[in-house]
Structure formats: C-alpha cells, structure tokens
Amino acid sequence: MNIGVIGIGEIGGTLAARLAAKGHFIRVTNSRGQAAVEEFAKEIGAQAADIYGAVDSAEVVLLCMPFPVVATLPKDLFDHAGDDVIIVDVANYYPDVRDKRIPEIDDGLPESIWVAQQLGRPVFTHIPQVNR
C-alpha cells in the first residue's frame, strides 16, 4: 500500500517505521520539509518527501501532527489526491495543555468534522479522548 505520513514524531515515526517494515511504500514529511526527514526515511526504508509528495499517489495519508496544525496545512494539499484517498487523523485535541482552544469543538463539534472542514475532505479518526 502507498502511505503518506505527515509528521514523524513519536506516533507518526512509529507508524511509519512499522508500516515500512511490513512492506508498505511509505513517504514521510514534517513541518521542516523533505531535507529534515531524509535521515529518518533512509533509516526505516521509506522515502522522504515534501508535504505534497507525501499526499500525491497515496492510498492512505496519516495526519500525525499536533491537532490544531491541521488548520495550517495548504488548502490545495489534497487537490491532486485521488477521490478515494483515505485520510486518517491520529491527533488528540489538548485544549489549555498544548493546544489553543477551538471554540467549535468546545461547543460540541466532533473533532473529525472539524478536521474534515479544514481539509475539505472526509477523514477517519481514532477513538477520541473521553476526558478533557
């Protein structure tokens, strides 16, 4: 499977390494760009990419970044992705701990809907954190 991983911190890095070890074609990137992930990509048998390269031709894209960063992704990021690309958000919203407050979510909007609105695409999310 062709998988793009945006963010290679603890969660993204672990997922990328394990998926690459299982034989999937992995492209990784982070906020510092392609050059910053070259060494990690080589180490796990993945390909370093810029953010567009991680998405283009991917069957699955994993969003592994701090939750509010989704709102700063380029608005055209998924323009060249297939209509059937699966986008999975693995982030947690941590208001007042790490993340600024997002009023829509605080007022009850599901995190997955907020992320989908930011991307203009449907997303899958993990089981949300219950206690905030």
Per-residue pLDDT of the chain (132 residues; tens, 9 = 90+): 999 999 999 999 999 999 999 999 999 999 998 999 999 999 999 999 999 999 999 999 999 999 999 999 999 999 988 889 999 999 888 898 989 999 999 999 999 999 999 999 999 865 545 454
Structural domains of the chain ordered from first start: 2-125 (3.40.50.720)
Is the distance from CB of 87 to CB of 119 less than 8 angstroms? yes
pLDDT value of position 132: 45
| Exposed e or buried b per residue across 31-40, where buried means at least 16 C-beta atoms within 10 angstroms of its C-beta | eeebeebeeb
Per residue in 82-109, pLDDT tens?
889 999 999 888 898 989 999 999 999 9
